[in-house]
Amino acid sequence: MSDTAALAAEQAALVRALWLPSLDDAAPAIAGLVHSVLAGGPHHLHTGLSVYRANGLGLAARVLPAAYPVLARLIGADSMAALAKDLWRQHPPTDGDIGRWGGALPAFVRSSAALADVPYLADVAEAEWALHRAATAADAVRDDASFGLLASEPPDTLTLRLGAGVALLRSPWPVASLIAAHQANDDAALARIAEAPQPEHTLVWRHGFQPRCRAASDAEAALVEALLHGDNLDAALALAQGLAFKAWLLEAVRSGLVVAADRRRAAD
């Protein structure tokens, strides 16, 4: 085995060992490979693995609240730290960019018996992950000239190009309002939401460098969802009954939600 291959094997063994249930299980898993570490004896090996594990868990405890700040406030710092620890062990990173770790949290929260008494937490987490992803989504450049197509061509041959990081989430809970109230530290708004929670569609996108999140009406949600699915504009508008399209489009373009009008390919 070449030196490069041996190093790769040692690194892979170490990564696997970090997520084994106990240090006693982890030590034999790398015993045949990490000779320099073993030279210090089992205690030295356990100490080294403990440091790696502690660093990983500390990193998880910092990264997860940064991606889910509202969820962290809702459940408290101690519970968030415990959640980060469990997620790190059950869903370890698969990407070299630690900022991309944490996407499994909404489903993890949804399946957690300990958090079942707060049923909207998973939906809040889902919206926050969409915001986190929107922050690093590919840029979408506005093409003002393209909107001339709306006046010259039939809507069934066109579609609208959405902005960076657009996502739509449907929930039986007022997720967008909860996030907005927590971001603004608006206790009065939180009290009103708690008194009469309502279902809400949450729209996420990025305008410039700023991820945005707000509630969407039924008609707007239907339109955006159709556009996300690739429907033509005529079909999308048929689903958006009651939407004042011209006024909506002006605001959508101004806010970066829509960036262009496109001809649909013949195969679409």
For a pLDDT cut of 70, what percent of the chain falls above it? 76
- For the entire predicted model, the pTM comes to 0.79
Query: Using one digit for the tens of pLDDT, what is the confidence trace for 99-154?
Result: 788 899 999 999 999 898 999 999 999 999 999 999 999 999 999 999 999 999 99
Residues 11 and 103 in one domain: yes
Last residue of one domain, picked from the residues 62, 83, 118: 118
Q: Quote the number of domains for the chain.
A: 2
In this prediction, residue 91 carries a pLDDT of 84
Residues 110 and 147 in one domain: no
pLDDT above 80: residue 201: yes
pLDDT band with cut points at 50, 70 and 90 for residue 62: confident
- 131 lies in some domain: no
Q: How far apart are CA 109 and CA 105, in angstroms?
A: 6
In this prediction, residue 254 carries a pLDDT of 97
| Full residue range of the structural domain in which residue 240 is found | 138-263
| Among the ranges given (35-39, 104-108, 164-168, 215-219), the one the predictor scored with the smallest mean pLDDT | 35-39
Q: What is the mean pLDDT of the chain?
A: 85
Last residue of one domain, picked from the residues 118, 150, 166: 118
- 128 lies in some domain: no
Residues 97 and 179 in one domain: no
pLDDT above 70: residue 49: no
Residues 102 and 155 in one domain: no
Last residue of one domain, picked from the residues 51, 83, 118: 118
- 123 lies in some domain: no
